[in-house]
Structure 1
């Protein structure tokens, strides 16, 4: 199971006096869509992604929610790729802030229509701690939720992996998408 290195990286950078500006993708709040060679064709903030693409909701458990069903809202990954000229790619690489990379097969993207989640459904616990207001349905993903961008799949619809520990298609702290080079 992949463990996030982002808090550790941030801590090490702060202790060493460096900043995330030294990283290849220095702003976790910007999602870059790239063509071959890493050339950016579009960038999106969470607000821009929400304005540009119709919201889609996936209600699912994940490999990390211990069977609890959570609601995620965001843009369809396949629609983002299509709008930016990447729907003909066979493999899409998703890159996370901590330099984690995963290869996503376009046939699986087309079949299961995952989202680039930017929001998570409010829970009673969120409302009791005023993270969500009464009646608020969703809130932005935080670092603790693996946001601000998180590739979320309909878990129960996915084929069972030959290795149950292989959850590489779930990319949190997503910062870039590009065709496999």
Structure 2
């Protein structure tokens, strides 16, 4: 199990600027470790298929091939917007803030929406898992 601090300290954080299936055209800058780096550190990167479980027991299945092809991140932060500074979520000099539950956090599986084929985006919205609590290999 990884805490936000452990993810931040043990893995390189990658920025992913992307819209989501629910944000329309609005691109959001997320930051977190690559899912494949987490899997590699836990010696399960070569697995064919994984279950990604959300807090509400929602379960998505993703393949190792999808992870390798699209390099999703397990986002733990979102770039601060002006409204975040106005509301007090971000300090004046703060660049990123932790993901709230309303943002899909504290752990949100983020994919590069523009890199996904259109038919894939429509049929696989389930791969955008909010409030991830577990990633397990499927035997």
Which runs of 5 or more structure 2 residues have no equivalent in the other structure?
Answer: none
| 1:62 maps to which of 3, 14, 20 | 20
Size of the aligned set, in residue pairs, is 139
In the alignment, structure 1 residue 122 sits paired with structure 2 residue 80: yes
1:35-114 aligned at under 5 Å gives the runs 43-114=1-72
Q: Which has the larger radius of gyration?
A: 1
Measured in 1, the distance between the counterparts of 2:40 and 2:122 equals 30
TM-score (norm. length: structure 2): 0.96
Deviation of the 1:146 alpha carbon: 0.9
Residue among 134, 137, 147 paired with 2:95: 137
Secondary structure at 1:80 match in 2: helix
CA distance in 1, matches of 2:10, 2:93: 25
SS at 1:44 equivalent: coil
Unaligned runs of 5+ in 1: 1-42
Q: Give the Cα–Cα distance (whole angstroms) in 1 for the partners of residues 136 and 59 of structure 2.
A: 11
Q: Which residue of 2 aligns with 1:153?
A: 111
Q: Could you tell me which residue of structure 2 aligns to residue 169 of structure 1? A: 127
With structure 1 as the length reference, what TM-score do the two structures score?
0.74
For 1:95, what is the secondary structure of its paired residue? strand
